[in-house]
Amino acid sequence: MEKQQGKTATVEAIKEQLQALTGKDIDIKPGQLINLQFPFSIYDSTDDGTMLVRRIVFPFTKTCFGSVQLLDVAGVGVTNDKGSETFLVSGFLCSPAQLPFLEPVNVLATARSTSPVFLTTAHTVIVTGPSAPDLQITVFAWDSKGNPAPGVDFDWRCRAAVENVIP
């Protein structure tokens, strides 16, 4: 029993150091601390998409483009002390190249919570330098009274058309 208590104390000390290093609470059990990595994102690309373009000037027609490249990416996050989290989609891809995202973009965020919490999302295509545009997503968390909710873990998913997908 004494040996087990010593091991638990060591795990707690490591956990506290990791929390100080990251600036975030780490909610893990002692047996999970051994694995210092975790799945962060998944993504897939395909050439099977079709994009419909509508003209807003005469002759008010629509045109379809086949074989549009689509990117479907999902990841995890946690809201900061202001109840939001902003990130670039390129940070969740293995390829260092930024992708030229095209509208429309679909973003979905789901809270990992047993208490009432609401999530909203916003996105924008931004230029971060001389390279191609990137997609910036912000997830906002709100408690049941409409106040910002910090520390909310969430899963997110985004699907968008891109000009050149590098798997």
Residues 62 and 144 in one domain: yes
Contact by Cβ (8 Å): 88, 128: yes
**pLDDT, tens digit, 9 for 90 and up, residues 114-129:** 999 999 999 998 876 6
Q: 129 and 93 share a domain?
A: yes
- C-alpha pair distances (Å), 29 with each of 48, 99, 151: 43, 38, 18
Quick one: 79 and 31 in the same domain?
Answer: no
For 138, the domain range is: 39-162
Q: Is 21 exposed, middle or buried (0-12, 13-18, 19+ CB in 10 A)?
A: exposed
pLDDT tens, residue by residue, 125-164: 887 666 667 899 999 999 999 999 999 999 999 998 887 5
Residues 31 and 43 in one domain: no
Pair 57, 32 in one domain: no
